């Protein structure tokens, strides 16, 4: 409580709809915000449609001043994270607030109180709702819209979070390529050395086979859960989560931008997944409801997407540093250019992943956005 400011838990569908629609009010007039499709955002919180809730639980909160909605936050406990990392961590996410320290403090206090009541001793965020979804607070690079599945927030938000006693847990980098220019300037020696190193190890790279999509999804899952298992904050995807993600991406992926690295005997050891930037179509269509015209407008504008995001790229540990990383980037850039994409974002990369950040920089990438995950002991 703070004067006429009060926090209330979301307990019904009406409250959930208010929660999901609040950003449309908060960001009205912001040229860089990308409006979501409301039905898709509602599905995030639907246990019948999002398998994340098979091992997690949450409480959503609304902040009101008098009768006016002025902020939202979600408090989440992900049991799979805590089992994987031997932590008692809760998280906050979907933090949207006006530029008012009292509102931010009240929202975060509600999230902290809820996760502490669940037995947690640490809170981290923003996770929307997990590390396998949208993550982090944008702390620089506010001058343009985020690419698909990357977050956006007003520039005042980091200070509001830090004012509530939160400190940096990890920074995440987004790198941008001007594809044609950076391919032209890419070091030829690096490409040759990388390809020779792969040949020496018997590693080859192929595109995903849409005729055997389910088989390749299983291979991607195998690599993903192995290659990222030691990464900061990584939580393996369950079978249901993998199937859900694959089903959601399948209608929009370009199979020419998805690569699997295999050994001579067919063992998957690496994966690279690049997706079209659907945010361009969402922004131009205005987001909102699917019907009566939202989906039609989105599909119309999807034809004009000219940038993409390399969102997953990695090798299992024993095959790292053997050339495939650079070849993944170069092949992705070449294929993207053929299909009319002008820019490629590589995101997100942990600040602690020195080798990957150096490879991207050597290939011409420019670090242009930083996202921060905060934490606080309870």
Boundaries of every domain in the chain: 5-174, 176-369
**Using 50, 70 and 90 to split pLDDT, how confident is the model at 63?**
very high
Q: Please indicate whether residue 195 or residue 377 has the higher confidence score (pLDDT).
A: 377
Q: Region 27-50: what's the mean pLDDT?
A: 95
Q: What is the pLDDT of residues 238-275, one digit of tens each?
A: 999 999 988 888 888 899 999 999 988 888 999 999 99
* Exposure b/e, 20-36, CB count within 10 A at least 16 = b: bbbbeebbeeeeebbbb
| Average pLDDT over the chain, rounded to an integer | 92
Do 361 and 325 meet the contact criterion of CB atoms below 8 Å apart? no
Q: What is the pLDDT of residues 88-119, one digit of tens each?
A: 999 999 999 999 999 999 999 999 999 999 99
Q: Region 134-163: what's the mean pLDDT?
A: 97
Distance between CA atoms of residues 43 and 244, nearest Å: 12
Q: Please indicate whether residue 257 or residue 224 has the higher confidence score (pLDDT).
A: 257
Range of lowest pLDDT (206-210, 274-278, 287-291, 329-333): 287-291
Q: What is the pLDDT of residue 272?
A: 92
Q: For the chain, give the secondary structure using H, E and C.
A: CECCEEEEECCCHHHHHHHHHHHHHHCCCCCCCCCCEHHHHHHHCCCCCCHHHHCEEEEEEEEEECCEEEEEEEEEEEHHHHHHHCCCEEEEEEEEECCCHHHHHHHHHHHHHHHHHCCCCEEEECEECCCCCEECEEEECCCCCCCCCCCCCCCCHHHHHHCCCCEEEEEEEEEEEEHHHHHHHCCHHHHHHHHHHHHHHCCEEEECCHHHHHHHHHHHHHHHHHHCCCCCCCCCCCHHHHHHHHHHHCCCCCHHHEEEEECCCCCEEEEEEEEECHHHHHHHHCCECCCCCHHHHHHHHHCCCCEEEEEEEEECHHHCCCCHHHHHHHHHHHHHHHCCCCEEEEEEEECCCHHHHHHHHHCCCEEEEEEEEEEEEC
Range of lowest pLDDT (171-185, 193-207, 235-249, 308-322): 193-207
Tell whether the model's pLDDT for residue 1 goes beyond 50. Answer: no
Please report, for residues 178, 346, 352, the alpha-carbon distance to residue 185 in angstroms, rounded to integers and kept in the order given: 11, 18, 26
Which pTM does this prediction carry?
Answer: 0.93
**Using 50, 70 and 90 to split pLDDT, how confident is the model at 3?**
low
Distance between CA atoms of residues 56 and 171, nearest Å: 24
Rank 145-159, 244-258, 300-314 by mean pLDDT and report only the highest. 145-159
Q: What is the pLDDT of residue 182?
A: 83
Asked, colleague to colleague, whether 5-174 and 176-369 share their fold, the answer is: yes
Tell whether the model's pLDDT for residue 32 goes beyond 70. Answer: yes
Tell whether the model's pLDDT for residue 174 goes beyond 70. Answer: yes
> What backbone phi and psi angles, to 5 degrees, belong to 4?
-95, 10
Closest CA to 155 of 170, 168, 141, 145: 141
Share of the chain above pLDDT 70, in %: 98
**Displacement of CA 74 from its chain's centroid (Å):** 17
Q: What is the pLDDT of residue 2?
A: 58
Please report, for residues 144, 149, 260, 313, 327, the alpha-carbon distance to residue 190 in angstroms, rounded to integers and kept in the order given: 31, 30, 20, 18, 9
**Using 50, 70 and 90 to split pLDDT, how confident is the model at 292?**
confident
Q: Region 70-87: what's the mean pLDDT?
A: 97
Q: What is the pLDDT of residue 320?
A: 78
CATH fourth-level superfamily of 5-174: Gcn5-related N-acetyltransferase (GNAT) (3.40.630.30)
Q: Region 140-158: what's the mean pLDDT?
A: 97
Q: What is the pLDDT of residue 322?
A: 67
- Two tokens, residue 102: 């009292």
Do 44 and 130 meet the contact criterion of CB atoms below 8 Å apart? no
User: In CATH, which of 3.90.1150.10, 3.30.450.20, 3.40.50.10800, 3.40.630.30 is domain 176-369?
Assistant: 3.40.630.30
Q: What is the pLDDT of residue 227?
A: 80
Share of the chain above pLDDT 90, in %: 68
Computed over its alpha carbons, how large is the radius of gyration of the chain?
21
């Amino acid at each position: 409580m703070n004067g006429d400011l009060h926090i209330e838990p979301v307990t019904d569908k009406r409250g959930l709809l208010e929660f999901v629609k609040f950003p449309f009010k908060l960001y009205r007039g912001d040229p860089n915000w990308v409006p979501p499709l409301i039905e898709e955002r509602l599905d995030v919180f639907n246990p019948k449609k999002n398998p994340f809730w098979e091992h997690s639980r949450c409480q959503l909160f609304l902040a009101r001043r008098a009768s006016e909605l002025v902020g939202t936050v979600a408090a989440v406990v992900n049991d799979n994270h805590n089992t994987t990392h031997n932590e008692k961590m809760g998280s906050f996410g979907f933090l949207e607030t006006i530029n008012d320290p009292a509102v931010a403090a009240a929202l975060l206090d509600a999230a902290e109180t809820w996760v502490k009541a669940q037995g947690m001793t640490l809170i981290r965020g923003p996770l929307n709702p997990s590390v396998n979804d949208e993550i982090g607070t944008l702390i620089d690079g506010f001058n343009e819209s985020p690419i698909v599945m990357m977050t956006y927030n007003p520039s005042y938000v980091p200070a509001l979070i830090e004012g509530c006693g939160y400190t940096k847990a990890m920074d995440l980098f987004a790198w941008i390529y001007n594809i044609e220019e950076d391919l032209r300037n890419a070091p030829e020696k690096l490409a040759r050395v990388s390809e020779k190193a792969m040949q020496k190890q018997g590693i080859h790279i192929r595109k995903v086979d849409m005729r055997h999509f389910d088989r390749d999804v299983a291979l991607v899952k195998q690599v993903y859960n192995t290659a990222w298992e030691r990464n900061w904050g990584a939580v393996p995807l369950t079978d249901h989560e993998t199937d859900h993600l694959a089903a959601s991406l399948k209608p929009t992926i370009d199979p020419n931008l998805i690569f699997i690295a295999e050994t001579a005997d067919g063992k998957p050891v690496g994966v690279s997944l690049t997706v079209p930037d659907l945010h361009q179509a969402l922004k131009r269509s205005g987001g909102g409801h699917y019907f009566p015209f939202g989906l039609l407008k989105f599909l119309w504008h999807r034809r004009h997407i000219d940038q993409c995001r390399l969102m997953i790229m990695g090798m299992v540990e024993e095959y790292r540093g053997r050339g495939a990383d650079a070849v993944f980037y170069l092949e992705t850039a070449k294929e993207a250019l053929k299909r009319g994409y002008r820019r490629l974002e590589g995101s997100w990369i942990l600040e602690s992943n020195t080798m990957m950040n150096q490879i991207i920089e050597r290939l011409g990438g420019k670090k242009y956005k930083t996202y921060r995950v905060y934490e606080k002991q309870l």
